[in-house]
Amino acid sequence: MKNTLRSIAATAVLLAGVSLSHAASHGGNKMVGGAEMFPDKNIVENAVNSADHTTLVAAVKAADLVDTLMGEGPFTVFAPTNDAFAALPDGTVDTLLKPENKDQLTKVLTCHVVAADAMSDAIMKMVDDDGGTHPVKTVGGCMLNVTYEGDKIMIEDETGGVATVTVADVDQSNGVIHVIDKVLLPKG
């Protein structure tokens, strides 16, 4: 099961011609998953280079969302790492990647995308303006609740699961990526 997932992820990286979690600075650009993120490239062009997001890239391809996320946007993408996907119950990712489950996979993935370009300072201001919790509707129709403590932004999904932003403000030509440590799930 995990070998199948690794194989799919490795294939996605090879097909993309390359390889987003530990942030560092390189030439002024953020580093995610060992790769430099370029603000003049779109979400997909950057994500395919991150060694920490091979599962996400494979899922985006399986759901036929590549063209959408390469589009004009703007998009804010809460991007779960490979470890976040691996923390799901055994078999979940393999099941979601099956062609017959494309609609369910699309729902899960689009619950990570907001039709806006929201950097962390703007998100924190919205949370403050709303008294400590800001509701966010995703392009997939999911309702998320965003809070923060200190400089850490947390996103609660419809099942009560909470993801923490581990790398914020990864600027893209068509929006922004915030790396998260859990997969956001829709209810039911």
pLDDT digits (tens, 9 = 90+) for 25-41: 345 788 777 778 878 88
Tokens 């494309």: give the residue: 102
Task: Give the span between the Cα atoms of 130 and 102, in whole angstroms.
Answer: 35
Q: Are 163 and 154 in contact (CB under 8 A)?
A: yes
* Fold observed for domain 2-180: FAS1 domain (2.30.180)
- Side-chain half-sphere of 122: how many Cα atoms within 13 Å? 9
Domain boundaries along the sequence of the chain: 2-180
SS3 of 1, please?
coil
Low-confidence stretches of the chain (pLDDT beneath 70): 1-27
Neighbours of 58 (CB within 10 A): 25
Tokens of 78: 């809460």
Tokens 């959408």: give the residue: 68
pLDDT digits (tens, 9 = 90+) for 46-66: 888 888 899 999 999 999 999
